[in-house]
Amino acid sequence: LKLIAQTRVPAMPAPRVSESSGSQPVGECLKAFSENCEAYPPLAVANTVGVPAVFVAFLVVLATVAAAWQGVAGEGLCAIVGLAYPAVKTFSVMEARSQDPTEVRHWLSYWVLFALVCVGESFFREIISLFPAYPPVKLMVLLWLQLPVTAGALPIFTVAVDPILRFHKEYIECSGGSGEYFRAAMMGH
C-alpha cells in the first residue's frame, strides 16, 4: 500500500478560480465547472452547443450507472468501456512511438489487469451473478484503472501482479511458454 501511495499520478489541469474570497454560491461553482470543460472534449462540445456542461455530465453519469445496473446492458457497457477507450489509447501510444515509459507501462499494466479480470470472471461467473451491483462496480474499477486522472493500473500492477510474476519468472521462462511449469504445479510436482 505504501508503494501505491508513492506512485506518481498525472496531475489534472488546475481549475480557474474566481478572484472572490470565501465560499462561492452553488451557481458560481456550476458556472466555473462549465468554463473549465475545455480540457475534457465531451464536455467542451456541450459548451459549443449551448447546453450547460454540468447537465451533460450529470446525464452521462446517470445513464452510465443506470445502464450498468442492468445485467446484459451492464456487461456490454463494461466491455465497451474496458476495450474501446484503452484500445484507442494503446494504439495512439504505439503509433506515436511514445518515449514516455510511464504511459507505455500504464497501458501494458492495464491490459494485464483487464485479462486477469476476464479470467477471474470466467471462473467465478456463478458467484458474481449473485451480486446485482457487480456491473457498476466493475465499470467504476475499469474507469479507475484506465483514466489518466486516476491511472490506477500501474500501481495495482506494481504492487499485486509484478511481484508474483517476478517470483515465478525463471519457471515461466524455462517452460518457454509451453505451460510445463503450471502443469507440474497443478499436479503437485
Q: What is the pTM of this model?
A: 0.58
Give how far the C-alpha of residue 179 lies from the chain's centroid of Cα atoms, to the nearest Å.
30
Mean pLDDT of the chain: 74
Contacts of 168 (CB under 8 A, 6+ apart): 181
pLDDT band at 116 (very low <50, low <70, confident <90, very high): very high
Q: Which of the given ranges, 98-102, 108-112, 147-151, 182-186, has the highest pLDDT on average?
A: 108-112
Which residue from 87, 166, 78 is spatially nearest to 121, judged by alpha carbons? 78
pLDDT of residue 139: 84
| 31-40, 72-81, 95-104: least confident range | 31-40
pLDDT at 9: 46
Q: Contacts for 74-78 with beta carbons within 8 Å, 24 or more apart?
A: 74/134, 74/135, 74/136, 74/138, 74/139, 75/135, 77/135, 77/139, 78/135, 78/138, 78/139, 78/142
Would you mind telling me the total number of residues written for the chain in this entry?
A: 189
- pLDDT tens by residue, 49-60: 666 666 677 767
Contacts of 118 (CB under 8 A, 6+ apart): none
